[in-house]
Structure 1
Amino acid sequence: MDVHSKQLLLMVVAVIYTKVATQPVSLPNCPTKCGNVTIPFPFGTTNNCSLDNTFLIDCNKTSSTSTDVPFLPQTNQSVLNISLDGELRAAWPVASDCYSENGTKLSQIIQDINMTHFHISPTKNKLIAVGCDTVGVLEAADSGRKTYATGCVAYCNNRTDIVANQPCSGIGCCEIQLPQVHMLTRVLYGSYGGIFYNQSHSKVHDFNPCGYAFLIENGSYSLTRSDLLKLKNKEFPVLLNWTVGNQTCLQAQKNLFNYACKAEKSTCYDPGTNKSGYLCRCFGGYRGNPYLINGCEEYNECLEHNDCVEEATCIDLPGSYHCLCPEGYEGDGKNNGTGCSPKSSTKSRKDIMLTIALSVSASLVALLIGSFYAYLAFKKRKFIKLQEHFFQQNGGLLLQQQIGRHGGSTEIAKVFKVEELKEATNNFDQGKILGQGGQGIVYKGVLQNNRIVAIKKSKISDPNQVESFINEVVVLSQINHRNVVKILGCCLETEVPLVVYEFIPNGTVYEHLHDETQSIKLTWKTRLRISKEIAGVLAYLHSAASTPIIHRDVKSSNILLDQNLTAKVSDFGASRIVPLDHSQINTLVQGTLGYLDPEYFHTSQLTEKSDVYRFGVVLAELLTGKKALSFGRPEVDRNLAAYFVSSMKQGRLLHILDKNIDEANIEQLKEVAHIAERCLRVKGEDRPTMKEVAMELEGILVVEERRWGSDNLSSEEAENLLKTARSIKNIEDVVGGSGINSYESYSLNQISMSLIGGR
């Protein structure tokens, strides 16, 4: 066949398999567009044109447009475009707060959006806050109604701080990823100004009168200086995920009547582990709408994208194509395959094969023997190098340096083999997860001696996290206290390090306080004892440990409870060992929203008084049963510390107490509440030490235990015990602390609501 005949044949084949007809988008007699937006089935603008009410789109004119605009009925947000790959792009409103020149808040808009049918993509969107004295806060919920909270801080001194095309790293704007959870269905977000000490937004008002917070699709925003004066956009694009129903492909295919993949040349696929429902797509070599009968049509891949090498000829086939090599060449003709290469003669190929066979046969025995011994030696060296690599990668050398620095006092109980820990956790099964945070994932495990343990698998991706892991091992190894979680050993020979702790079975103080079925167990006597135990641990760390230690992340979710509801302080990943010749340490602000020491933002100094402040927040939680920080409703849109101190000043202690505190002595409650109030003073120098707090709580507990232990306690005995407790408390006067009757001006602006490094 000559060249012209071959080309003519290929053209005929291409014409046979090429369809020029327009592919259907929607059901017959249904509109395919609303304004400029294509509405593909299963979506539709009427009940008859959509698969069901889930995919119904409202198509109406607005006051600002002359053309129709598609809207989501459940949120009344405009639709920008719809993809058959399971994505829908919608316009999302901006939240804001604005201030007068003297710093008075003029207005605030907090956005609360519930998605009925579609889910906000946690991987393709982010929260951005814009402003020079602004914190953006986000509360999200998944389909199981579990809530998650996060946020970030944006700050600058003047407009010249802003550089064009700079990332939102905190100067003028900040950004944070959405919680990576199962199907986000609700988001509540807003911006809050006046976050820094005594500023109240007044210093930046001239060029930044308002702060803004908004959800946006990744890569869709770039900060400009004019945005600080006024953000022109009222909405930004956000990517939503959609699927058909809530069944898997296997389940949906059992009912063909309701099965959505109607096209003959279509298939079903599950969109991923974090999504329910299923999606449809056309076979390879076909395209169109797989949700319509005859919706998938073949197209000529030879006339469009294909993988044939330049010298090969593309031949279109039904649903596929073939790359034909020229005459005298062999191979599959594809760039990612064998391509096309000249054929070798039969005789030459036989000679080459015979030569290779003889050479291999002659040296086979020698090669086998030498290779066997070389392989054994290589595997041994490789295994040793791999262990050394993981040891260094996981901070083994840093751990040795820390041990030497502290005079060899750090002793790890046991160095575990990774096989032991895999067996204990059923190869780190998901069902064994007890919890997870910024420092790692904690699994429940059972060792060979039947001891139940908690195994922490650290998340390490940079040197700073390696240092945090080694820091926790060093700190815990030096602590010997019955109210501190014990470290049993570690494993450094794996890709990520593992630490083994004693297992504490009864959850956290946070879980007990904020779960109605559990909070009833926390009687006043139990809460007072837990407070004393936590204070005792912190006093020990600050004053009695061989080297002073600052915990830096005291919060109710880091206080575990054993079977007897005895407190066990945990999570020392953020702790710092204080050298004996230093009373304070420069450090980045680190902690959890609601627990941050306001003095951080002025001194950037880390002292023991920061732990005192965090303990004060925990004590306020135990007294009120409220969370450290709530937002989203005007009546509770505040920090618990400020709320507690304000209520104490107004004499409203009895109004804010937890309803489950019903058998407590009122005088003793006031004593404990006053301790919390002193711990929450703005200036660290005005707060008591943890040693003083622990002694005061111990004295109060003695009085309470005598009262609980004897109903016949006379008034004179009670008064004597109370005097004893008060004399213990007055140690503050002996060491030169602030007077117990003094009060410090306290406002929400003095308590930072930022979230930096939260875990």
Structure 2
Amino acid sequence: MVLKFVYIIIILMIWCMYPLTSAQYENGTITSAQYENKTIASPPGCDSKCGNVSIPFPFGMHDPKCYASNQFEIECRHNNNTSQGHQKPVPHLKYINLEVMYIDIQYGTVGIKNPIFHPGCGKTVTGINLEGSPFVYSQNYNSFVGVGCQNAAIMLSNDTILTACMSVCYEHLEKGNDIDISSCRGSYCCETSLPPYLSAYNISTETVEVKSNIKAECSNYLLIRAEYSNFKYEYDEYNSSYWVPTLGDLKKQKDVPAVLEWEIPIHTPNNSFPEFRTDAYGHGSYNCSYTNVTSSLYPQSGWRCSCSDGFEGNPYIQEGCKLSLDGRKIIIDPTKSYGKVAMIGVFSSIGTIILLFGLWRLRKVVRKKIAKKRKEKFFKQNGGLLLEQRLSTGEVNVDKTKLFSLKELGKATDHFNINRILGKGGQGTVYKGMLVDGKIVAVKKFKVNGNVEEFINEFVILSQINHRNVVKLLGCCLETEIPLLVYEFIPNGNLYEYLHGQNDELPMTWDMRLRIATEVAGALFYLHSAASQPIYHRDVKSTNILLDEKYKAKVADFGASRMVSIEATHLTTAVQGTFGYLDPEYFHTSQLTEKSDVYSFGVVLVELLTGQKPISSVNEQGLQSLASYFLLCMEENRFFDIVDARVMQEVEKEHIIVVANLARRCLQLNGRKRPTMKEVTLELESIQKLENQCNAQEQQEELELAGNEDSQFWAAYSTTSTAGQTSDSKTSTLEIMPILIK
């Protein structure tokens, strides 16, 4: 910072000696007039403000020449403002009739007031419809929130569930207390991320049965809101009064801030732009690129522009990007003499530099002390003392982990750029990063909000695990405002995305499904039995099963996991898990056992067999669990109606039945009747061996049939000599099959 001050003083000194007569940037000469009005937002003759909100082109008001198309038209209305006693103009996006809070052309976002919905029990309400417009709800900036007791908040589209979360209440609030909904964790309110490309949706609630004295409440609130840390405020009115951290604040509001992303559609009716904007003047003042913000069907559904480095302004209007002051080169005019002014400039500059140097030395010492105190504060705030306590008891193996600095991780993730986001969940956001040595990593930024239990829990557990099918922890960073964990990077996403978004180029074969199931079962068996202390994962689901470069399974996300003593048979905890995978016995008794993970694994196994999602929507029957539907089909002898068509084509029915029976045993309502993960692993490994024997036998038969006439004698000889072995192999396979079916 001090060096920047010195640089500015030197520039001012030269400016005092020689007034600026001309400046040159690269190969073009500019005059002082070209520096005026650098931040032109709208074409000439167009209003660029409505109230306190700037309206930059392609958005505009009044005249069609002031906006790109009718989809970007802003209507400036007057709302009554009783607090100020006069009419105040407020911008509205006319095409979708929503109030605008800000417009950002650099990041392609619009802040809006989004309504709060009160659907009531079992009813569906239609949300905002953005279809046909160049706008979608931002997945990175928004989240879906449900507030209520014993409710499942559901977002749907065409009777298909897009996302859902569940909020549970165990005790009544005392009078005077309020519910903190700034960060929902499933108690009184819940929060989940939005799906990509969200333009139209319906929302509803369903009641859920919970072992609690509090009954389900129909007076609930469902809303899409912008995350507080990511929302951009344009003026002070929204800085404090518009955010809703508690239920009391929420009851007073009709709407909350949300963020839309936008693009210029490639084919927009009455568009004043050409199909793709280019820098026709060849100055390189702005860049444009194709985007697919609003459509997942096409890689290029629209485009957006930005000013080039060294320029600033609006890239969507002619000559809207102007040279920035930081990017110019100054040319001194030697024909003019300013000796007196030069002397004053030189001495004042030297004195200022000496003063700044002394301040810089002093500031350096002070900053070291402040930085040390800040590190100590964040270390305690992020559970450093709790971690030290566990280190002293030998729970954490620090030899396997590294302590990263915030500077190192900030550089690796491009300062936690939103374009580096790999995924978002209840615990926090995961970013992709590259370390200085070129190693690709995943960095999780936790949402602690004063509760560091999940962060410390995941660090302690992963530091002890060393298994090829469990994601590896590389290190952490505690000396920051938000704690960070660093993992190995798993490149091919999670099992849920791969299974439910299959493509013909790399389909999920039966062998892959069976191998992934065996690998996950082996990892859970290791956690339950082979680790130094038994570990119950508590959130086994397909989104927490990652796939590496060879599509091998890696179990992840241990924030909800619990370690138990070897002698303990169960652990009594507050119910936590994911709707559709949650063990019913654990849900009703709050007693967590190893069989709870077995049930969740059974749901994953059914997902692999059927290719269906764990929760689906039925038109008039509400939500339907895949586990209960699978058990019903098994009882009614119509299981093959829901098996994935690709599985039916690849493998014989007898082999499918073996795996289906294993899944049914895992989904027993009585946990004692379920197998252990050790038994599940052994059975899946046996099934794999049978599959390999069958495949080898088929390949042998194909080779024998493909023999030419010259090798018929040797083929016949080989068949004769091994006939007994083949018969034995078939017999052993048929003998083992009924045992596995049972």
Is it true that 1:695 corresponds to 2:682 in the alignment? yes
What is the DSSP-based 3-state SS (H/G/I as helix, E as strand, rest coil) of the residue aligned with 2:650? coil
Tell me which amino acid in the other structure corresponds to 2:733: L
**Once the 2 structures are TM-superposed, how far is the Cα of residue 183 of structure 1 from its aligned partner?**
8.4
Is it true that 1:503 corresponds to 2:515 in the alignment? no
Residue 624 of structure 1 contacts residue 657 of structure 1 at CA under 8 Å; is this kept in 2?
A: yes
Residue 490 of structure 1 contacts residue 500 of structure 1 at CA under 8 Å; is this kept in 2?
A: yes
**Once the 2 structures are TM-superposed, how far is the Cα of residue 644 of structure 1 from its aligned partner?**
1.2
**Alignment correspondent of 1:444:** 432
Deviations 1:273-315 (A, max 9, x none): x99999xxxxxxxxxxxxxxxxxxxxxxxxxxxxxxxxxxxxx
Distance 1:417 1:240 in 2: 34
What TM-score results when the alignment is normalised by the length of structure 2? Answer: 0.59
**Alignment correspondent of 2:468:** 482
**Once the 2 structures are TM-superposed, how far is the Cα of residue 555 of structure 1 from its aligned partner?**
1.0
Identify which range, 559-568 or 706-715, moves more after superposition: 706-715
Matches within 5 A, 1:425-444: 425-444=413-432
Tell me which amino acid in the other structure corresponds to 1:396: G
**Alignment correspondent of 2:393:** 405
**Alignment correspondent of 1:188:** 202
Distance 1:619 1:80 in 2: 44
Matches within 5 A, 1:356-375: none
Residue 71 of structure 2 contacts residue 95 of structure 2 at CA under 8 Å; is this kept in 1?
A: no
Using a 3 Å threshold, how does the CA distance of structure 1 residues 509 and 715 change in structure 2: closer, same or farther?
farther
Deviations 1:423-453 (A, max 9, x none): 4334434333322323233333333333x33
Q: Calculate the aligned-residue CA RMSD, in Å.
A: 5.2
**Alignment correspondent of 1:150:** 164
Which of 150, 153, 162 in structure 2 is aligned with 1:136? 153
Deviations 1:83-116 (A, max 9, x none): 9999998988754457xxxxxxxxx556466344
Deviations 1:292-344 (A, max 9, x none): xxxxxxxxxxxxxxxxxxxxxxxxxxxxxxxxxxxxxxxxxxxxxxxxxxxxx
Deviations 1:581-638 (A, max 9, x none): 3222222222222111112332111111111111011101100101111236448841
Deviations 1:380-434 (A, max 9, x none): 4334333333333333332222222236645333333444434433443433332
Distance 1:398 1:716 in 2: 61
Distance 2:519 2:142 in 1: 45
**Once the 2 structures are TM-superposed, how far is the Cα of residue 683 of structure 1 from its aligned partner?**
2.3
**Alignment correspondent of 1:396:** 384
Distance 2:375 2:578 in 1: 36
Q: List alignment gaps of at least 5 residues for structure 1.
A: 1-40, 45-50, 58-71, 99-107, 225-232, 258-273, 279-360, 731-739, 741-759
Which of 579, 595, 602 in structure 1 is aligned with 2:581? 595
Distance 1:83 1:540 in 2: 52
Is it true that 1:631 corresponds to 2:645 in the alignment? no
Distance 1:606 1:589 in 2: 8
**Once the 2 structures are TM-superposed, how far is the Cα of residue 645 of structure 1 from its aligned partner?**
1.2
Matches within 5 A, 1:170-569: 174-176=188-190, 179=193, 185-196=199-210, 237-238=254-255, 377-406=365-394, 409-450=397-438, 452-464=439-451, 466-517=452-503, 521-569=507-555
**Once the 2 structures are TM-superposed, how far is the Cα of residue 460 of structure 1 from its aligned partner?**
3.8
**Once the 2 structures are TM-superposed, how far is the Cα of residue 654 of structure 1 from its aligned partner?**
1.2
Identify which range, 476-485 or 632-641, moves more after superposition: 632-641
Distance 2:137 2:357 in 1: 61
Which of 589, 597, 603 in structure 2 is aligned with 1:611? 597
Matches within 5 A, 1:3-22: none
**Once the 2 structures are TM-superposed, how far is the Cα of residue 462 of structure 1 from its aligned partner?**
2.8
**Alignment correspondent of 1:744:** none
Identify which range, 109-118 or 565-574, moves more after superposition: 109-118
Distance 1:154 1:704 in 2: 45
Using a 3 Å threshold, how does the CA distance of structure 1 residues 625 and 493 change in structure 2: closer, same or farther?
same
Is it true that 1:571 corresponds to 2:557 in the alignment? yes
Residue 216 of structure 1 contacts residue 237 of structure 1 at CA under 8 Å; is this kept in 2?
A: no
Identify which range, 576-585 or 604-613, moves more after superposition: 576-585
**Once the 2 structures are TM-superposed, how far is the Cα of residue 167 of structure 1 from its aligned partner?**
5.0
Distance 2:727 2:659 in 1: 21
Residue 528 of structure 2 contacts residue 536 of structure 2 at CA under 8 Å; is this kept in 1?
A: yes
Residue 114 of structure 2 contacts residue 258 of structure 2 at CA under 8 Å; is this kept in 1?
A: no
Is it true that 1:671 corresponds to 2:683 in the alignment? no
What is the DSSP-based 3-state SS (H/G/I as helix, E as strand, rest coil) of the residue aligned with 1:480? coil
Residue 138 of structure 1 contacts residue 151 of structure 1 at CA under 8 Å; is this kept in 2?
A: no
Distance 1:663 1:88 in 2: 50
Using a 3 Å threshold, how does the CA distance of structure 1 residues 178 and 606 change in structure 2: closer, same or farther?
closer
What is the DSSP-based 3-state SS (H/G/I as helix, E as strand, rest coil) of the residue aligned with 2:640? helix
Bigger Rg, structure 1 or 2 = 1
**Once the 2 structures are TM-superposed, how far is the Cα of residue 520 of structure 1 from its aligned partner?**
5.2
Distance 1:73 1:428 in 2: 34
**Alignment correspondent of 2:733:** 721
Deviations 1:462-499 (A, max 9, x none): 342x2212221221121111111122223333333333
What TM-score results when the alignment is normalised by the length of structure 1? Answer: 0.58
Deviations 1:344-377 (A, max 9, x none): xxxxxxxxxxxxxxxxx9xx99x99998876555
What is the DSSP-based 3-state SS (H/G/I as helix, E as strand, rest coil) of the residue aligned with 2:503? helix
Distance 2:591 2:585 in 1: 8
For these two proteins, the number of residue pairs brought into alignment is: 531
